[in-house]
Structures are given as C-alpha cells and as structure tokens.
C-alpha cells in the first residue's frame, strides 16, 4: 500500500511541475507598465546556433519590444533581429538592425514587418560569449506590438 501511495504522490508532483512549465510558455502576460497588450515568453539554451521565437500576430507598424529577464552565465548575451513570417518561411524585416541583450535589458526593435505586407513577426536569436560546454539559458518576454 505504501508503494502505491508514494507512486501516486510522485505522479501528482510531476503533473503539477509539468503544468507549471507548460503554462509559463503558453499564457500571455500583461505588462506592468500598461504599454503593451500582452507579452510572449521565451526561453532557450544556447549552444551557438540561431533560434527563433514562435511567430505571433503583428498588427501595427510599431517597434517590437523585448525584455531579457535572466541569463544563467555571467557576461553572456545574445543578438536579436526581427523577422516576418508567412506560411512557415521567415524573412529579415530588420533592415540590418541587430540588438544585443543581456540580463535585465529591455529594448524596442525597429522593423518593417507590416510595411512589407506581412502580419506575423518573430525574432531571430543568436547567443554570444556562451558557456561552450553546457550552453547558456536565457529567458524573458517579447511583444510584437507596442501600444504607446
């Protein structure tokens, strides 16, 4: 009977932990400043390759805002560029503008997603000065539309 109870407690704990992790990635977050409608969470473990955030609807010609909440490696940072997305393919919408982010930084990134006739944006992320053995975890939020 004890083993069955332990197994049940273990499974409940695992379910709750997975629910919390999944919820962090799928639930939009409201900005405290009231300047944006919703933010999309991102997290990645860099091994030196490029990654993209999930594409989200972009309805205005405003900048895209990104906030790097944490980095688990001292002096690590990443570069971010805004891309447009349509039918599964991405296209550079930054006109060559690239922004660097380290822990605690928020930046508004110029882009030409809507002006080029697209309605979805994503961000290409490239890690720098990362831990070569284990990678570096970054996490934060980004907003496709800024409603100032």
pLDDT at 122: 95
Q: Is residue 14 in some structural domain? A: yes
Which residues of the chain are under the pLDDT cut of 50?
17, 22-23, 25-37
Q: Which domain holds residue 9?
A: 1-143
* Number of folded domains that form the chain: 1
Q: Is residue 118 in some structural domain? A: yes
Q: Is residue 53 in some structural domain? A: yes
CA torsion, points 90, 67, 28, 126, in degrees to nearest 10? 30
Per-residue model confidence as pLDDT tens digits over 42-61: 777 766 778 889 999 999 99
Phi, psi of 75 (to 5 degrees): 70, 10
CATH number at residue 113: 2.60.120
Q: Is residue 148 in some structural domain? A: no
């Amino acid at each position: 009977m004890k083993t069955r109870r332990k197994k049940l407690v273990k499974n409940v704990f695992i379910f709750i932990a997975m629910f919390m992790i999944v919820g962090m990635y799928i639930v939009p977050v409201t900005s405290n400043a009231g300047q944006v409608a919703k933010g999309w969470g991102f997290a990645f473990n860099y091994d030196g390759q490029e990654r993209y955030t999930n594409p989200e609807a972009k309805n205005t010609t405003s900048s895209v805002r990104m906030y790097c909440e944490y980095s688990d490696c001292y002096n690590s940072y990443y570069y971010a560029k805004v891309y447009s997305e349509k039918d599964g393919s991405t296209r550079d919408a930054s006109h060559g503008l690239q922004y660097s982010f380290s822990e605690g930084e928020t930046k508004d990134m110029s882009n030409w997603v809507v002006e080029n006739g697209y309605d979805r944006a994503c961000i290409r992320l490239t890690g720098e000065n990362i831990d070569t053995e284990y990678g570096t975890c970054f996490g934060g939020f980004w907003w496709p539309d800024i409603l100032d």
